[in-house]
Structure 1
Amino acid sequence: MTEREESEPPAESAAPGSPPEPDASSTGSRVARFFGADRRTSAWRERTLVRARYLAVQLDRERLRQPEDPVRKALIAGMATLLAEAQAGARERCLASPGSGASLERASANLRAAELILLELVADEELGSWVAEVQECAESSLRKADPHRIALAAAIKKQNGQGGAIPDRRLLIGTLSSAYTELGKEYTRVRSLRNILIAATVVVFLGAAGLALFGWFAPQTLSLCFEPKDTTTTIVCPSIQRDATETVTVETLANRKDALLVEVAGAAGATLTVVASLPRIQGTSTPYMLPLAAALLKVPTGALSAFLGVLLIRGEFIPGLSNLDSSGQVLAWGVVFGASQHLVTRFVDTRAQETLTNTGKPTAGTSADKKE
């Protein structure tokens, strides 16, 4: 089967009653296909499509029950629309705003709403099979003092201890809806932090690039050269070192590559800290690559730290470090300052890991929650 056949199944092969596929002849679809955006390479997209197909099968089964009931007809029609929107969200690529998460939100929100309608449609004798799933969602997403969680726990306890009836359908729907709402908020926080890290990476990169360009076009103004006090006949720059003469001074020997070389050395030192932190990085089940965004921030930050650190040494700001003796020593200090950015970015790593760890867990509630 070709890739086109896999991504755009023919109409006659679709299961009866399944949600309609998005119009492949639309202008947006043609533009997305031109850029290769119709290729579903994300795991969350495939999971969404599989889940939507499964719910479509459940919807076909519900169509056979009480087909003349107008309320059920309205619910079935609404669920079919939601599944179609979820599939469309899983297939679309938001080229205008890739960091907004619009496609993911569209797919996940519609899919969860479809599951709530399915819970509304299932027969009374099937409600028992939903209790465990709803309870798991409530315990993983809702705080202990949440009214829905308390009411569901009480109903389950009564059912298990006294042989009572299965929890009310409205209670199950309300609890599952609240759990989905909290989970959506957690994903929004993860995406927001990811976007902040990406924006910070771009800003720091532009700052480092701007300094490198300034040093390229005005090397004498932004000189990183040294004149060791013990050997006054030698001038040391990141890219060259030469004996001092009447025409060769600290300012005139400055090369346009000096700032760039120091920043490259700093970026290399920062990259080493990224490699060293890999054993402590944990994977995530969220569709947002938060650990990668935190790691990428280190590289331009290391370049900027190296430049500023060498500049501080040249300005004799750091006690005990006034002049450097060789070009290699200048670049070595650039690597050291680049690696030292971890003293700042480690707080970002900690925050990112805490956010991922808390995703899917109840948020902090009242003091009564903490006592429990």
Structure 2
Amino acid sequence: MMSSEREPDRAQAVAVDFQPVKFTSSWREEALARICELRALTGSLRFREGLDAEAAKLLTDAETELAHAHQAAQRRRIGGALTGAAVQRVHAHLDAAEVLVLRAAPLGYVRGQTAALVVYIRRHLLPSDPRCQSAEKVLEAEGIGVRATDVPAGGDATPRTAVGTRRGRGSAAAAPAGARQMSPVDRERLVAAVQGSMAEARNEQMRVRSFRNLLLIFAGVLLVLATGVCVIGVAAPEKLPVCFHPVQVAQSQAQTRRIVCPTRESALPAQADVDDVVADTVDPWDVPLIEFLGLLAAAVATATALRKVRGTSTPYSLPAALALLKLPLGALTALLGLILMRGNFVPGLSALDSSAQIIGWAVVFGYAQQAFTQVVDRKAQDLLEDVGGAEQREKPAAAAPQRQ
């Protein structure tokens, strides 16, 4: 009688009102999929026999958290892309819902997911962390073996608990005969470790986001500076000349002086004033041309450097932020490098002989910005490796005493 009354409710839950909603972020689609899965799990747990009032209350609270997560995932704000408030809110509510489900689920269900939970904990908590060690002890008590090689090197930073499909449902093997049953204390230890790993996973995303925002801020500042210098070069080219006056010795031993600019050249008479001839030779397109060539060289350098940066499953793209930083920096280094050469800062390169040489050195200086951004590239790579790589973070510290 009970099962016949529940069948209509199940059939009604299958009906979904699909509405055309445009999402441009993959993390939103993933969050909505996880919400649907968690709602299905909470609904199935309500149908189990012997559901007490405390477990029912936990499942109700989990459904409330899922409602908050669903609302946050559907709201799109421009400022949320920089602050990360939407991502953090959705993940925080999903993590809370998953923890509540673990507390409300029967011990047999949690015991079956122990191996998958420990794999997730290993990815985000250091092996020396007491919470990780406590989870390992629970796993050993259950008689289930999980190899360290099963842990991904740098997996998805999005939290996954026992209900997540990417955890590998059914990955926990059956315990051998004689293994004791999981106690409520073991469940609390395991849930506490999962909570800590979820918090660390969110912190990993926060570190990536803050570094991404810092790169975007500096890229914006450099873009404004490069644009301002370009405007000055167009409006008053004589104020910012990128010209040289080499002295050439002909076969007749007569010295010939010229003014060489990126786009034009002119002779420099013996009695003429250098500044006047430079003002007549410069062109409004000189500075924009130099910055454009520096930007092109920086783009080539960026494409070459990105081959060493691995992708990330976080909602924040560090490689794109690095590329945006290097482009205006290349334009500025090309111009500043030629200005330093014009001021005899580089011995032996104070007088370029032709416009082609000026253009060539602009490309060289634009590509040379890679030397200034190598430290930034290494920092970005370290942050990406830290996402889901708790064991890799502890290896250098453990190996240091052995080398001494």
Give the TM interval when normalised to the shorter protein.
0.7 to 0.9
Shift of 1:205: 1.2
1:226 paired to 2:226: no
Higher relative contact order (CA 8 A, sep 6+): 2
1:238-293 residue CA offsets vs partner (Å, 9 max, x unmatched): 12223346596013322222111111111111111122224323221212111121
Is 1:58 aligned to 2:41, yes or no?
yes
Question: 1:27 aligns to what?
Answer: none
Partner of 1:197: 215
Correspondence for 1:176 among 173, 177, 194: 194
Q: Which runs of no fewer than 5 residues in structure 1 stay unpaired?
A: 1-12, 25-32
- After superposition, where does 1:21-40 map in structure 2 within 5 Å? 39-40=22-23
Give a deviation string over 1:9-55, Cα, whole Å, max 9, x none. Answer: xxxx996399999xx9xxxxxxxx9xxxx511221111111111011
- 1:7 maps to none
**Matching residue of 2:358:** 330
* Secondary structure, aligned partner of 2:259: strand
Deviates more, 1:279-288 or 1:161-170: 161-170
- Equivalent positions of 1:295-314 (< 5 A) are 295-314=323-342
Contact 1:19 1:80 in 2 (8 A): no
Aligned to 1:30: none
Match of 2:282 among 237, 240, 254: 254
Q: What percentage of aligned pairs have identical amino acids?
A: 33
| Structure 1 residues 265 and 108: CA distance shift in structure 2, 3 A | same
Structure with bigger gyration radius: 2
Equivalent in 339, 359, 368 of residue 340 of structure 1: 368
Distance 2:358 2:212 in 1: 35
SS of the residue corresponding to residue 235 of structure 1 reads: strand
- Deviation, 1:125, is 1.8
Q: Distance in 2 between matches of 1:134 and 1:146?
A: 15
Checking the alignment, whether the CA contact within 8 Å between 1:215 and 1:259 is kept in structure 2 is yes
Q: Which moved more, 1:64-73 or 1:261-270?
A: 64-73
Q: Which moved more, 1:55-64 or 1:151-160?
A: 151-160
| Aligned length, in residue pairs | 346
Distance 1:288 1:368 in 2: 30
**SS of 1:96 mapped into structure 2:** helix
Report how far residue 188 of structure 1 moved: 0.6
Q: Does structure 2 conserve the Cα–Cα contact (< 8 Å) formed by 1:20 and 1:84?
A: no
Does 1:235 find its partner at 2:259? yes
In the other structure, the counterpart of 1:153 is 136
Shift of residue 351, structure 1, vs aligned partner: 1.1
Q: Which residue of 2 aligns with 1:128?
A: 111
- TM-score between both structures, scaled by the size of structure 2: 0.78
Amino acid paired to 1:241: E
In the alignment, is residue 106 of structure 1 matched against residue 89 of structure 2? yes
Query: What's the offset of the Cα at 1:69?
Result: 4.1
Contact 2:247 2:257 in 1 (8 A): no
Moved more, 187-196 or 221-230: 221-230
Gaps of 5+ in 2: 1-9, 145-177, 249-254
Structure 1 residues 57-66 or 119-128, which shifts more?
Answer: 57-66
Match of 1:206 in 2: 224
